Amino acid sequence: MKKYIFGVALLSAALLTGCSLDENSKSQFSEGEAFKNSTLTYVNSVANVYSAIGDGLYGNTDCVHTLQEFMSDATMLPGRQGDWVDGGKWQNMFLHNFESSVDTYANVWNHLFKIIGLCNTSIDKLTPFLEEHPDYKAYVSELRALRAIYYYNAMDLFAQVPVVTSSKQSTSDVKQSNRSDVFQFVTSELEAALPDLGDGHCQNTGEYYGRVTKAVAYMCLAKCAINAPVYTIDDTSASSYQAVVGTDLSKQATASETLGQAVSDKGKTIMMTSRSTLSDANKRRPEAVFEAIYRDLYATYHTCLSSDSRSGEPKWMKRLQIIDSTTISLFSNLLFKGVGRHPKTGKKKGGIKVHTVIHANEGVPSDIKFTSAATNDSFMLKPTTLSKGDIMAMDRAYIDYEKLEEMTLKGVIYVTKMKKNLKYRVLNDTMYQTPNGLMEVRIQHVSFTKHLKEKEIIHYSRIVTYVDEKKKKLIPLLTNDMDSDPSEIIDIYRKRWEIELLFKQMKQNFPLKYFYGESANAIKIQIWVTLIANFLLMLMQKGLTRSWSFSGLATMVRITLMYYVDFYSLFNYPEKDWEAYLNEKAESPPEPSLFD
């Protein structure tokens, strides 16, 4: 036995002394070689960090997305018998039971700080080259932004985490940071990196695919802004969070200052919400943010919706504006004073009136105002906003002699429907008949008089009365256009129906019967969101070569909204994948049967 032990020891000694453990890899190259040009530098300092991310953010059961979803009310997992319970892992996350048996917490923590550590290492390696290669600053900024995004996730999930900014920092010097300090670090790093980040879209294939760009940084800053009141709490007790949830944070200077520092794009600051529920959030969110989004969309893309004059439209079509309003019934008369009463209960009905102006050749609202349903429509008619040569088609609710005279003096043409109770003086009366002796059109030149305290207004106009053969009734139209052919005046008024079709389209495809909030702000926000969705769908419909009805397109977009697909490819050729599958099946050789 002793000889055997001695022999093994001798053999081990021989093996250890007979070979060297030092590596001499033939593929090894120096750090200078790795960073000798911009391509190699990016590959060995930035790209290698991206490749290490893998499915740590999304894609497996132990990723950041798992904790974010299962620890909130965003995801629910049905329980099943047998081993589907996974030892109570999912229930513990959902119930916020932080037990050591749930390895997801440690796995996510390790992934977050693994990427943060790789970012630090790459930044430290690139820094010495910045003086000689100033263009490498963009690589450092991209790494700083990626590191900030990972710190955002660490702050969001674990609150008080250590902030480490260098791979050379000693472990003994690493200290736990307050959540507010992490918040300030994340926002300041993103803001500092923004000027050097790419302008491309990271979802598109090409140079910026999957990379941190300006849009990604703004997205993270927006998340910081929305949740700033929570991220700046250093007291982690439940009572502290409860105090924030139950407080109107928009009145707290510190929260507003933090928010203002966090994100600002094009001069419009994203405001924070005080609760996770949509109703309470919309109560405090300013509707002006959504109004600004719609008006920016219109200013940028309204020309894309304009019809071409060569398509057979009359010349006056581009000058024609249409004004009207639609009333949306509400649950209460307290917020917006309604008109009429409920037929069963007799209670006064509430309602919000959406006053709208559209250009006839565009079909989308160019100006919108909200009032209570009891407000008279004529307030929306503002001659000062119109230019010489404009044409305004409107309903009889907008008749106001003073405003009509002001439009005439500015050279603006109007066409509206006559009210029955209008008093006027007939200056000239001419009736045109068909060859059969029936009335075709009647033209009357008239004057209206309005007595004011300071002056007397006399307005001259023309009444064009025509026969509506479908309704079998006479339709009198009022206009200040004394020269155009009566058929043209009739066509202009008929175009007023375009705005009625717009209201019908919106109410059918975006039912505004149920609101996600009971405040005036929440109601206005929901209407603005509806207007934005309607505008985007009409813009997308205009860009398609395949013919789609608006309702059909809205339904399909609603179904595919959460899928990552190319919109124009899908809706221009929806059968493409199915046809490719059929062709593949037709070309494939027949499968042998069991008895071949």
The DSSP string of 189-218 is HHHHHGGGS--S-TTSSSTTTTS--HHHHH
550 occurs within a structural domain: no
DSSP annotation of 275 reads S
Place of tokens 């926000």: 525
pLDDT digits (tens, 9 = 90+) for 271-294: 333 334 677 777 777 888 899 999
- Report the range out of 18-22, 189-193, 347-351, 518-522 with the highest average pLDDT: 189-193
The pLDDT tens digits for 401-417 are 889 999 999 999 999 99
- Tell me, yes or no, whether 519 lies in a domain: no
d(CA 265, CA 218): 8
Closest CA to 74 of 93, 52, 48: 93
Intra-chain end-to-end CA distance of the chain, in Å: 67
Q: What average pLDDT does the segment 146-158 reach?
A: 92
pLDDT at 230: 82
Amino acid at 357: V
In a domain, 236, yes or no: yes
pLDDT band at 563 (very low <50, low <70, confident <90, very high): confident
Alpha helix locations (H) across 208-359? 214-226, 228-231, 238-245, 253-262, 278-284, 287-305
User: What is the CA angle 140-213-219, rounded to 5?
Assistant: 115
Query: Comparing C-alpha atoms, which of 109, 110, 92 is closest to residue 101?
Result: 92
Give the per-residue pLDDT at 273.
36
Confidence of residue 256 (pLDDT cuts 50, 70, 90): very low
Residue 340 predicted with pLDDT over 60: no
Mean model confidence pLDDT for the chain? 79
Provide the 10 A C-beta neighbour count for residue 354.
22
Q: 573 vs 536, 539, 550, CA distance in Å?
A: 20, 18, 17
CATH number, domain containing residue 145 = 1.25.40.390
**Which helix (DSSP H) or strand (DSSP E) does residue 443 occupy?**
strand 439-451
Structure-token pair, residue 320: 């024609």
Residue 174 lies in a domain: yes
Residues 6 or more apart in contact with residue 383 via CB below 8 angstroms? 403, 406, 407, 410, 412
Percent pLDDT > 70 in the chain is 79
Least confident of 97-111, 196-210, 340-354: 340-354
Rounded to whole angstroms, what are the CA distances from 53 to 60, 115, 123, 167?
12, 7, 17, 18
Using DSSP bridges, classify how beta strands 456-468 and 439-451 pair: parallel, antiparallel or unpaired.
antiparallel
Q: How confident is the model at residue 486 (pLDDT cuts 50, 70, 90)?
A: very high
Tell me which residue range forms the domain holding 240: 31-78+85-275
Structure tokens at 322: 């249409």
Cα 577 from chain centroid (whole Å): 29
Quick one: pLDDT at residue 337? 54
Q: Is the pLDDT score of 251 beyond 50?
A: no
CA dist., res. 385 & res. 405, Å (int): 15
Q: How far is CA 284 from the centre of its chain?
A: 18
Q: Which region among 19-23, 111-115, 519-523 has the lowest average model confidence (pLDDT)?
A: 19-23
Q: Is the pLDDT of residue 13 over 50?
A: no
Q: How many CB atoms lie within 10 A of CB 509?
A: 17
Residue 346 lies inside a defined structural domain of this protein: no
User: Cα(305)–Cα(359) distance, rounded to whole angstroms?
Assistant: 10
Q: Structurally, how many domains does the chain consist of?
A: 1
- pLDDT for position 181: 92
What are the tokens at 72?
Answer: 């909130």
Is residue 525 domain-resident?
Answer: no
The closest alpha carbon to 255, from 265, 245, 74, belongs to: 245
Report which of residues 130 and 251 the model is more confident about: 130
On the question of pLDDT at 385 being above 60, the answer is yes
Number of helices and strands in the chain (H, E): 22, 9
Residue 302 in any domain: the answer is no
Identity at 75, one-letter amino acid code? T
263 has a pLDDT exceeding 70:
no
Which region among 63-72, 132-141, 437-446, 511-520 has the lowest average model confidence (pLDDT)? 511-520
pLDDT at 141: 93
Q: Which of 349-358, 469-478, 581-590 has the highest mean pLDDT?
A: 469-478
For 215, list phi and psi in degrees, rounded to 5.
-60, -40
Q: List phi, psi (to 5°) of 206.
A: 135, -155
The residue-averaged pLDDT of 220-249 equals 68
pLDDT digits 0-9 by tens, 524-534: 888 999 999 99
Count of residues for the chain?
A: 596
Instruction: Match 């043409």 to its residue by tokens.
Output: 413
Distance (Å, whole) CA 376 – CA 400:
11
Nearest 5°: phi and psi at 210? 75, 10
Q: Nearest Cα to 525, choosing from 356, 298, 289, 259?
A: 289
- Cα–Cα nearest to 186, from 168, 214, 165: 165
Residue 64 tokens read as 């950041």
Token pair for residue 40? 């190699």
- pLDDT band with cut points at 50, 70 and 90 for residue 364: very high
> Rounded CA gap, 380 and 485, in Å?
28
Q: What pLDDT digit, counting tens, does each position of 299-333 carry?
A: 999 988 887 655 677 889 989 999 999 888 775 55
570 pLDDT above the threshold of 60 = yes
Lookup: tokens for 54? 């893998």
More confident residue, 200 or 211: 211
